[in-house]
Amino acid sequence: DGGITQSPKYLFRKEGQNVTLSCEQNLNHDAMYWYRQDPGQGLRLIYYSQIVNDFQKGDIAEGYSVSREKKESFPLTVTSAQKNPTAFYLCASSLETGGTNQPQHFGDGTRLSIL
Amino acid sequence: AQKITQTQPGMFVQEKEAVTLDCTYDTSDPSYGLFWYKQPSSGEMIFLIYQGSYDQQNATEGRYSLNFQKARKSANLVISASQLGDSAMYFCAMREPFSGTYKYIFGTGTRLKVLA
């Protein structure tokens, strides 16, 4: 079945450590997105990418980095510069047809905590 | 600027009754799409229903329908015959394809609790 796979499901980060969250999709979608969700809150956009080798900052990009070397993959690195990384991270993808009617498809998320 | 507003932080509904979750939006683009997602406590986001700005009829998907009032810029989700499994967070989202960003804008969500 086609879908988006995020790993790991749970991740713990030590102080001063960089950690990378994986996101892989086999839907042949052009665009991919990373969101952060704090408890009881909505989704905030971290980074998004419309095509391979190109990505743009979202609303809360500081302390995060991404790469898009392959269409299927959009890993997110939470750097040590992100002082409050504890949150639920969701990866999403969508077709880019130029229309309005393409919903985003989401992975199951990664819960990141500080040790 | 694009904006989605969900004014109900939490809602209760009795099982088997209908419930309406409110969503208002702000955009200057004539072409846009509106989406509703369900997020159970497990965390995954489930796409429920879509409404395009040029659609003449309100969207329906099973027990979900969208009450689209374009002049009022509202896109309320109606869930009929509520079930216990409908208890979840619900998010309204909007996309403007010609804004150049291809971003989706999300509201803050409404937590729905279905009572037995």
Answer whether B108 touches A (CB < 8 Å): yes
Structure confidence by residue, pLDDT tens digits, B15-54: 999 999 999 999 888 889 999 999 999 999 999 999 999 9
Judged against a pLDDT cut of 70, whether residue B11 lies above it is answered with yes
Judged against a pLDDT cut of 70, whether residue B95 lies above it is answered with yes
Judged against a pLDDT cut of 70, whether residue B93 lies above it is answered with yes
Mark yes or no for CB contact A43/B31 under 8 Å: no
B109 → closest Cβ in A42, A58, A99: A42
Sheet of strand A64-66, all strands in order from the earlier edge strand to the far edge: A4-7, A19-25, A76-78, A64-66
- Torsion over CA: A5, B64, A48, B43 (sign): negative
User: How far apart are alpha carbons A105 and A66 in whole angstroms?
Assistant: 19
Structure confidence by residue, pLDDT tens digits, A62-85: 999 999 999 999 999 999 888 899
**Could you tell me which residues are beta bridge partners of residue A54?**
A51
Q: Which residues contact A13 (CB under 8 A, 6 or more apart)?
A: A19, A78, A85, A112, A113, A114, A115
- Torsion over CA: B45, B47, B49, B55 (sign): positive
Judged against a pLDDT cut of 80, whether residue A98 lies above it is answered with no
